Chains A and B, each alone.
Chain A
Amino acid sequence: MKKRILSLVLAGTLALSLFGCSGGGGGGEGGGGAAQGMYPGTSEAGSIRVECSTMSVMNPILMTYATEFAVARHCWDALVKLDENNQVIGAAAESWESAPNAEGVEDMIWTFHLREGAKWVNSQGEVVGDVTANDFVFAWSELLNPNNAAEYYAFATIFKNAQAYYDYASGVEGAPEVTLDQVGFYAADDYTLVIELENPLPYLLQYLKFEVMTPIYQPFYEEVGAENYGTSPDKLLYNGPFRMTEWTLENSITTVKNDEWYDASNVSLKAIYWDKYTDSNTKLNAFQTGEIDVIDITGEQRAQFEAEGYPVNNWIAGYSFYFYCNNIQEEDLANYPGAKLSDARSINLRKAISYAVDRQQIIDTVFKNDNEPSPAFSLGISGVSAETFGEAVVAANNGQPLYNPTADVEKAKEYLALALEDLGYTDASQIKISLLTSEGSQNELFSQVVQEQLRQNLGIEVGIDVVTITEARARRNAKNYDLFMGGWGPDYDDPMSDLDLWTSTNGNNHTGYASEEYDALIESTKAESDPAAREQLFVQAELMLAEDMPFIPIYWRHEDYVVSEKVADGLIRLPFQYYNLIYTTLAQ
């Protein structure tokens, strides 16, 4: 009997396998008919699918990635937001005014008048409550709550006493007692929010538009619990143009139009799908077969689209890439446990390297796209005397870039000779520099190109040290490196967001560069109220960085992307707005 059953099972499996094979060849439902255009896009009416990489955290106060903020921008309204030209406009707040504080300093107290009738909805679209001033007070209190360990808590330290409160609440030794009601924000009534600043802040509104500054509905937050808030769409409430209905971790988020939003009548998209792809070929294939509407592309993929005559779009997120250089001098080494005494401590060697690298060649070889050789450090910031801050810097340098786009071998060798003197070497072969490189074929190719350029143009042998990204970061922070490729993107539209990085106390300045003069220059911008004069101070800071060269700027990143023919208009990608699809319209 047993044998018969087994035979039947086997016969069954054999039959199944035949069926399975034919199924494999003939089945399928993803096939598209003959398309009219080249890439007509996804088939679902009224919706678009866009590529969005990291979407690990959806509790607004805990987010850290530009891609997470992109989704957040569509789900929540902060007090203000950026429009299609990156100008600040009202969002949850309809109007605002400023007043001097008790000491008579202008623009220190701000009153925001909230839009009445704005609603909180859940993932189902049901109205749960009204958006009031207390929702901001509560959200900012949670941002400053040490138990949440929010990385972007610093955004809430612009308020009076907020840093002192955070330190006290975190149990920092010696921190004087400060209570939450002493922190500079309160609700005067349901629709009036008053804030008092710690220091004058010319770019306050740029801060307040930041997605970690969005409100939270306290009763709901307390009902689900801080530890669960934002772990799934039904554990969040929404006050923005869209609401989240589905979230498959590491894969996809679905947001659908929020009919309760104040300007819902002007939103034409019914849904936005945010899809994550880990494989760039799969992504390209999915675009070609109409499974996604917007994807970022590589230099090679861009060449393919251009060869087909399909339009390629380009945008700047604001990322500036540069080599961190280890500046630690011999006499300071004892202050940095684990740090390395590097040959890069010679300013002349850093300049020799900067002149010896061919930035354009790096871009042409490694990226094959519109990345630009950095003319200055700061990118993506609006200017006062020119359209962008970067242009103002170049103008101040007689129209010349601060850093050469192609190699200048002669100058490089001049500086190399000085560097040998600095370091007490007799021959260039004694210089020991290595490029700390995190794993990844593009990173490794990048380092190889630089290695070859330095070999040819300077005659020095540079090593390449490939390690995991976490180890690279650990070594960067410990200053146990010579040169390490890093990137920086600004958080808000003001040169401070970039240039503050190189002050001696900034936790992200991993070079050991500590210039009292530079610190003072950055500090002086805080007291300057005239925008044009303030910009000039920042220009001076850029010039000082080029002179001291604590780091070596290499390129400004541009991103290429393609959009399917389904999208008609209103797809916005700008610095600080990774995506703005609120008013995107579709071709009919």
Chain B
Amino acid sequence: MLRYVLKRIAYGILTLFVLITLTFFMMRALPGDPFIGDKTPSPTTLANMEAKYGLDKPPIVQYFIFLGNCVRGDLGVSISYENRSVNEIILSSFPISMDLGARAILFAMIAGILLGAVAAVKRGSITDSLSMFIAIVGVSVPSFILGALLQYFLAVKLRLVPVQGWGTFAQTLLPSFALGMSSLATISRLMRTSMLDVLSQDYIKTAKAKGLSQSMILWRHALRNAIMPVITIIGPTVAAVFTGSFVVESIFNIPGLGKYFVTSIKDKDFTMISGTTIFYGALLILCTLVVDLLYGVVDPRVKLED
């Protein structure tokens, strides 16, 4: 087990190294200059700006300095947000994205598992159709449409919740819902299929034959086994929710990290691009590892070996 974990960590570091290298050279291939806006600084000022950010050195030297800084955990100083360190920006904005993401995933998991399970048990009923209708809506309606609709009806027309912002519980409801909806849809469909599969297994019939109550069968035997595929997709879902929060964050004016991930590329803010990419990359690697470990915990049949 320990050996497996160590090996996975080693692979993770290798992946990160490749990511760092690719990001470094690819972002330099982007056309344009981060210091040139609507107005163009004088050549002397441009040279001073490049010197300030170390961009006056040859690319290969810059690369090794950058690599050294990454090893020390220093992601550099942002160009757009002059003098602000990327570490500081991530530290102040990511907890908000994580909070939002966690709420969205919690909502998606709970409601998705419930919907899927109920749909499977009551297969063919109105409940089944309704839950699958919700799933289809969740998959096919993008979060920015859903977010805008929720905002319009629940916040503007009915005045039940605030339109935007982050801080109070009421402000978290709409964005969490909008962000979690597509994951909810995926989870509920997966749960339904898996639950149907489990319910047709011999051991369920055995349990029934032994006279166990319906609820006991469902809770103890069916749900636990049916939930395995859902756990498999938690990793990618967490990553998708965290990195895909940009749209929801901008609709609901939430000061999360998602915005920087997108706008830094447009602004050609080298340090922000690399900082957010590396950070999200590390997060994704970590999520996958945790899910794989969790797999072994939930299902003892899965052996974590190299």
Residues in chain A within 8 A of chain B (CB atoms): 3, 6-7, 10-11, 13-14, 16-17, 20-21, 23-32, 56-57, 59, 62, 64, 146-151, 153-154, 166-167, 170, 172, 227-231, 248-252, 275-279, 281-282, 285-286, 288-289, 291, 467-471, 473-475, 477, 486-488, 507-508, 510
What 8 A-B pairs are tightest by C-beta distance, nearest first?
A470-B32, A30-B162, A17-B110, A251-B255, A471-B31, A28-B161, A149-B48, A31-B159
A49 to chain B, nearest CB (A): 11
Q: Which residues on A sit within 8 Å (CB–CB) of B268?
A: 470
Contact: A10 with B223, CB < 8 Å?
Answer: yes
A72 to chain B, nearest CB (A): 14
Please give 16 more A-B residue pairs, beta carbons under 8 A apart, in addition to A30-B159, A282-B164, A488-B38.
A6-B298, A11-B219, A14-B110, A20-B106, A20-B110, A28-B161, A57-B82, A62-B83, A149-B45, A250-B260, A251-B253, A281-B251, A285-B155, A285-B164, A291-B164, A474-B36
Contact: A289 with B250, CB < 8 Å?
Answer: no
Contact of A249 among B37, B89, B164 (CB under 8 A): B89
Q: What mask results when residues 247 to 262 of chain B are scored 1 for a CB within 8 Å of chain A, else 0?
A: 0001111010001100
Q: Provide 15 A-B residue pairs closer than 8 Å at the C-beta atoms, listed in order of the A residue.
A: A10-B227, A13-B113, A23-B173, A29-B168, A31-B161, A32-B159, A149-B45, A229-B83, A275-B253, A282-B163, A282-B251, A289-B163, A470-B32, A470-B266, A507-B40
8 A Cβ contacts from B185-226 to A: 219-220, 223-224
B121 to chain A, nearest CB (A): 13
B62 to chain A, nearest CB (A): 17
A-B contacts, CB under 8 A, total:
201
A474 to B250, CA, bound (A): 28
Q: Which residues on B sit within 8 Å (CB–CB) of A13?
A: 109-110, 113
A486 to B266, CA, bound (A): 18
Q: Which residues on A sit within 8 Å (CB–CB) of B161?
A: 27-28, 30-31
Q: Which residues on B sit within 8 Å (CB–CB) of A277?
A: 164, 253
A58 to B250, CA, bound (A): 22
A279 to B159, CA, bound (A): 19
A17 to B163, CA, bound (A): 23
8 A Cβ contacts from B84-123 to A: 84, 88-89, 92-93, 106-107, 109-111, 113-114
A467 to B151, CA, bound (A): 32
Q: Which residues on A sit within 8 Å (CB–CB) of B9?
A: none
Known contacts: A16-B110, A23-B173. The answer to whether A249 contacts B93 by CB under 8 A is: yes
Contact: A279 with B173, CB < 8 Å?
Answer: no
Q: Which residues on A sit within 8 Å (CB–CB) of B267?
A: 470
User: Taking CB as reference atom, which chain B residue is nearest A6?
Assistant: B224
Known contacts: A227-B83, A249-B84. The answer to whether A167 contacts B44 by CB under 8 A is: yes
Contact: B83 with A228, CB < 8 Å?
Answer: yes
Contact: B111 with A248, CB < 8 Å?
Answer: no
A228 to B83, CA, bound (A): 6
Q: Which residues on A sit within 8 Å (CB–CB) of B77?
A: 227
Q: Which residues on A sit within 8 Å (CB–CB) of B109?
A: 13
Q: Which residues on A sit within 8 Å (CB–CB) of B89?
A: 249
Contact of A166 among B44, B110, B169, B259 (CB under 8 A): B44
A331 to chain B, nearest CB (A): 24
User: Taking CB as reference atom, which chain B residue is nearest A3?
Assistant: B220
Contact: B81 with A56, CB < 8 Å?
Answer: yes
Contact: A289 with B156, CB < 8 Å?
Answer: yes
Is B43 positioned at the interface, with any CB of A under 8 Å from its CB?
yes
Q: What mask results when residues 20 to 41 of chain B are scored 1 for a CB within 8 Å of chain A, else 0?
A: 0000000000111110111111
Contact of B156 among A249, A285, A488 (CB under 8 A): A285
Contact: A473 with B159, CB < 8 Å?
Answer: no
Known contacts: A249-B89, A289-B155. The answer to whether A28 contacts B30 by CB under 8 A is: no
Contact: A30 with B266, CB < 8 Å?
Answer: no
Is B294 positioned at the interface, with any CB of A under 8 Å from its CB?
no
Is B177 positioned at the interface, with any CB of A under 8 Å from its CB?
yes
Known contacts: A28-B170, A147-B52. The answer to whether A278 contacts B259 by CB under 8 A is: yes
Contact: A286 with B36, CB < 8 Å?
Answer: no
B108 to chain A, nearest CB (A): 10
Contact: B163 with A279, CB < 8 Å?
Answer: no
A281 to B92, CA, bound (A): 26
A582 to B233, CA, bound (A): 54
A149 to B113, CA, bound (A): 55
Contact: B39 with A285, CB < 8 Å?
Answer: no
Q: What mask results when residues 148 to 182 of chain B are scored 1 for a CB within 8 Å of chain A, else 0?
A: 10011001100111111100111101000100000
A172 to B45, CA, bound (A): 11
A29 to B36, CA, bound (A): 44
A414 to B162, CA, bound (A): 59
Q: Which residues on B sit within 8 Å (CB–CB) of A468?
A: 31-32, 266
A250 to B219, CA, bound (A): 47
Contact: A249 with B92, CB < 8 Å?
Answer: yes
Contact: A286 with B169, CB < 8 Å?
Answer: no
Q: Which residues on B sit within 8 Å (CB–CB) of A30?
A: 155, 159-163, 168, 170-171
A10 to chain B, nearest CB (A): 6
A29 to B173, CA, bound (A): 11
A6 to B40, CA, bound (A): 62
Contact: B92 with A285, CB < 8 Å?
Answer: no
Contact: B162 with A29, CB < 8 Å?
Answer: yes
Q: Which residues on A sit within 8 Å (CB–CB) of B141?
A: none
Is B49 positioned at the interface, with any CB of A under 8 Å from its CB?
yes
Q: Which residues on A sit within 8 Å (CB–CB) of B227?
A: 10
Q: Which residues on B sit within 8 Å (CB–CB) of A281?
A: 148, 151, 251
Known contacts: A249-B255, A278-B253. The answer to whether A20 contacts B111 by CB under 8 A is: yes
User: Taking CB as reference atom, which chain B residue is nearest A469?
Assistant: B266
Q: Which residues on A sit within 8 Å (CB–CB) of B159?
A: 30-32, 289
Contact: A507 with B43, CB < 8 Å?
Answer: yes
Contact: B255 with A248, CB < 8 Å?
Answer: yes
User: Taking CB as reference atom, which chain A residue is nearest B169?
Assistant: A27
Q: Which residues on A sit within 8 Å (CB–CB) of B155?
A: 30, 285, 289
Contact of A17 among B47, B114, B164, B255 (CB under 8 A): B114
User: Taking CB as reference atom, which chain B residue is nearest A248?
Assistant: B255
Contact: B49 with A149, CB < 8 Å?
Answer: yes
Is B51 positioned at the interface, with any CB of A under 8 Å from its CB?
yes
Q: Which residues on B sit within 8 Å (CB–CB) of A231?
A: 83-84, 88
Q: Which residues on B sit within 8 Å (CB–CB) of A28?
A: 160-162, 170, 173
A146 to B107, CA, bound (A): 52
Contact: A3 with B38, CB < 8 Å?
Answer: no
Q: Which residues on B sit within 8 Å (CB–CB) of A167?
A: 44
Q: Which of A21, A277, A473, A488 has the most CB of B within 10 A?
A: A473
A146 to B41, CA, bound (A): 13
Contact: B84 with A172, CB < 8 Å?
Answer: no
8 A Cβ contacts from B38-93 to A: 38-45, 47-49, 51-52, 77, 80-84, 88-89, 92-93
Q: Which of A23, A31, A282 has the most CB of B within 10 A?
A: A282
Contact of B83 among A230, A250, A285, A291 (CB under 8 A): A230
